[in-house]
Amino acid sequence: MTSASELTDHTGYWMRMVSNAVSHEFARKVSGEDVTVAEWSFMRALYDCEPTPPSVLAERMGMTKGAISKLGERLVAKGLVERAESQQDKRAHSLSLTTAGRAKIPILAALADANDAEFFGVLTKEEHEMLDRILRILAERRELKATPVD
């Protein structure tokens, strides 16, 4: 027999709950900069390595090509990202941050810092490091088994 207490004993459940809370609060914070969490994620991925084709972003962000297509278009419309058509392949293009986009990065990063501090500041240094370490192990693992999302 499955007892009620067992049912809440899923790590995935707690993770979703905490992650949602963190993301929700972060969304609130960045909305002041007229940016969504997905947009920040997109911009940061670009910052790490640009110019980048949408297909690569899709894989890195775990989103579909369609979603990236729309998200990219929104960011271009906001003037934070720009496209460069490829000469080798007329279907393809690559994306980069604009000067304005690049300028926003430190501001948004500061908000992310603040959000992290707000949520994870209750942990001891040891707990926080352990959490980071564990999340990286899991993310890395995901990388290996990642089924193409599309």
Residues constituting the chain: 150
Contacts with DNA in 22-61 (CB under 7 A)? 36, 38, 53-55
Specify which residues 38 forms β-bridges with.
none
Q: What Å distances lie between residue 111 and 26, 74, 87, 121, 137, CA to CA?
A: 8, 21, 38, 14, 25
Q: How far is the CB of 131 from DNA (least distance, A)?
A: 25
- Quick one: 36 or 96, whose CB is closer to DNA? 36
Tell me the residue type at 133.
R
Q: How far is the CB of 66 from DNA (least distance, A)?
A: 3
Q: Which does 94 bind (CB under 5 to 8 A by kind): DNA, a second copy, none?
A: DNA
Q: Is 92 near DNA (CB under 7 A)?
A: yes
Of 26, 40, 72, 115, the residue at the interface with DNA (CB under 7 A) is 72
Please provide residue 41's backbone torsions phi and psi, each rounded to the nearest 5 degrees.
-60, -45
Q: What Å distances lie between residue 34 and 42, 54, 70, 81, CA to CA?
A: 14, 22, 17, 14
Encoded tokens for 121? 């500041």
Q: Is 12 near DNA (CB under 7 A)?
A: no
Q: Which does 150 bind (CB under 5 to 8 A by kind): DNA, a second copy, none?
A: DNA
Encoded tokens for 54? 């949408």
Site residues, DNA (CB under 7 A): 36, 38, 53-55, 62-74, 86, 88-94, 149-150
